[in-house]
Amino acid sequence: MTMKHTLCATIIALSLAACGSSGGGSPEVQPAQTPTPNTASPDAESSAVKNRSSLDYRRNYAGVVSSKSVIAAQTLLGPQAGSNTRGEKNLTLTLNGRSYGLADRINITALPDGLLELPYKAEWTSLKVAYPDSQDVKVEEQGKMYIYQRPYSMVLATLPTAYRYDGANDPNNRLGRADTMKVQLVSGLPVNDATITRLSGNTFNYSGESFANFGSGLEKGAFNYSINFTDKTGSGRITGMASTGDIELRQARIGGALPYNPMLSAAERTKGINGEAHSERMNAYRYYLSIFGPNAEEVAGFVEGSRSNPGGQWNIGVSGTKQ
C-alpha cells in the first residue's frame, strides 16, 4: 500500500465528524474585532496529508502520530489525568460528533493545521472525598476546545461554558471568568539533549500566534521568540492581545519542559524553557515553552497569570515556527 493510501485510510478512520454543515472549513462571518478559528470539516486537509511532502516529516511520521495521539481524559483534566490520579472514571467525551472513552486516544494529526475551535461535551464520575464516607459523583461539562496544530506540535485548551458537579450548576463559579479557559496539553515530536547540543552555534527565531478567551470572545496576538542554542537561553514577546497588552517573556535557560506529563517515558519528554512573564495588564506570571521537531523547528506552550490576580491563573496558548 502506498504512503498516500495509508495516510488517507488513517484519516478516514480517525478524523472527526463535521462541525455544522458548511464545507471547506470556512469560518462563519463574525464581527471584525472577533477573530474566528477554523472548524473541522470532512474535506479539510489534515495535517498528515498537508505535510507529507516534507522528507523530515515522512521520516518522523510514526513519532509525530504517536506524540499527538492524546488520551481523552487529558484533554479535559490535564496531563495528570492520564494516570487516573484523581479518581476520575467512566468518562465519555463527545468531540465534534464523535465519542471517546476515558483512555481512548484522539489522533490530532487527522485534523487540519492552524487554530481549530471544536464543540465538546463530556460526563464522568469523580471521587468526592467527604467525611465519614467518600462517594463517586457525576460531573457534566460542555464547551469549546481550541487546538492549535503545526506539523510537529500541538496546544490544546478547553473553555467550559456549562458545568454540573453532583447535580449543582457551577458550584465553584468557574464559568465566564478570565481564568475559565485552560491549556490542558502541549505535545509533539520531542527534542532531546543530543539535538540541543548539535544545534550549538545557532540562534533560531520563531514567530507565530497567541490565543486566549478571557470570557469575552477569542483574542489572538503575535508571538515571537528567540533561542540561542550556544548559551542555551531564550526570550521573547507577545503583542496585540487586547486584554493583557504586550507580554514580555523574560530570558530563561533550556531545561526539561513543563508541565510534567506522567504518561510519557523519558525518551518521549522534550526540552523546553520556563521563565518569568510580565504584562502591561492582568499580571502575567510565568511562561512554559516546549521545543519540538527533528531540528527544533517549532515551539509551543502557554503563559499563565498570577494566582494573586483578580482574574485568577488565566492561560494564553502560544505556537510558533522557525523563520
103-126 pLDDT per residue, tens: 999 999 999 999 999 999 999 998
Q: Is the pLDDT of residue 1 over 50?
A: no
227-258 pLDDT per residue, tens: 999 999 999 999 999 999 999 999 999 999 98
**All structural domains of the chain:** 57-179 (no CATH), 187-322 (2.40.160.90)
38-97 pLDDT per residue, tens: 776 656 899 999 999 999 999 999 999 999 999 999 999 998 776 555 668 899 999 988
pLDDT at 14: 40
Lowest mean pLDDT among 81-85, 163-167, 258-262: 81-85
Beta strands per DSSP E along the chain: 69-71, 89-95, 98-101, 105-107, 114-128, 135-150, 153-165, 168-169, 182-188, 203-213, 218-228, 233-239, 247-256, 271-279, 284-292, 298-305, 315-322
Q: Is the pLDDT of residue 137 over 60?
A: yes
Four-point Cα dihedral 28, 29, 33, 34, nearest 10: -20
Grid coordinates of 10: 488513517
**DSSP annotation string for 69-100:** EEEHHHHHH-GGGGGTTT--EEEEEEETTEEE
* Number of alpha carbons in the 13 Å side-chain half-sphere of residue 293: 24
Rounded CA gap, 33 and 177, in Å?
A: 20
Q: Is the pLDDT of residue 18 over 50?
A: no
